[in-house]
Amino acid sequence: MTTRLWALWRMEYLLEEKTDECVFCLAAGNIPEKNSQFRVLAARTNEFTILNKYPYSYAHILVSPVRHVKSLEELSSSEAESFFKLVVDSQTAIKKAISPEGINMGLNIGKAAGAGIDQHIHMHIVPRWTGDTNFMPVLNECSILPGHLDNTYEQLLPHFNNI
């Protein structure tokens, strides 16, 4: 028996024009709106939150400084303070929006640490539920997500409007 898994949003990736430009630099300055290709949830002067286009789990979001820096020590004190304030505010919004049982957060600094984009730091905020993962990612390098990215964005956005 053949198992078929449909990931309809992946077609967007296959058809989009590829660029060497930093995706976080391209997303910086975008305002939260339904039609944004970057799915920006919150935008402040020095940092912003976006929905991860290639999530590990449902409603996986990323918080990034606007300025292109590859490590925390490159941030000024005020940038670091406002960056971590948005991390906290984004975590709060995620809790209100989808009531996860837990949350993983992390920075992958450098390729060796697992950073897919290693020249622009960003914090992963990954909502978790008991039993939300199974053998698929381990055996088949396949993630199963319960919602389309656009629907997830629309569900989260109202909870980010006030942060």
Confidence (pLDDT) at 134: 54
Confidence (pLDDT) at 79: 96
Q: What is the mean pLDDT of residues 114-123?
A: 90
Residue carrying structure tokens 């505010």: 89
Residue ranges of domains in the chain, CATH in brackets: 20-160 (3.30.428.10)
**N-to-C CA span, the chain:** 49
Confidence (pLDDT) at 104: 94
Q: What is the pLDDT of residues 49-100, one digit of tens each?
A: 999 988 888 899 999 999 999 999 999 999 999 999 999 999 999 999 999 9
CA distance 121 to 65: 7
Q: Above 70 in pLDDT, residue 8?
A: no
Is the sign of the CA dihedral 78, 82, 85, 87 positive or negative? Answer: negative
Confidence (pLDDT) at 143: 60
Confidence (pLDDT) at 115: 84
Q: Above 60 in pLDDT, residue 12?
A: yes
CA distance 126 to 149: 14
- Cβ–Cβ under 8 Å, residues 127 and 103: yes
Low-confidence winner among 59-68, 93-102, 109-118, 133-142 (lowest mean pLDDT): 133-142
- Cβ–Cβ under 8 Å, residues 73 and 64: no
- Joined together, the tokens standing for residue 8 give 């309809």
Which of 101, 100, 98 minimizes the C-alpha distance to 155?
98
Confidence (pLDDT) at 7: 64
Q: Above 70 in pLDDT, residue 153?
A: yes
Q: What is the mean pLDDT of residues 34-53?
A: 88
| pTM for this model (two decimals) | 0.81
Percent pLDDT > 90 in the chain is 49
CA distance 29 to 84: 18
Confidence (pLDDT) at 19: 73
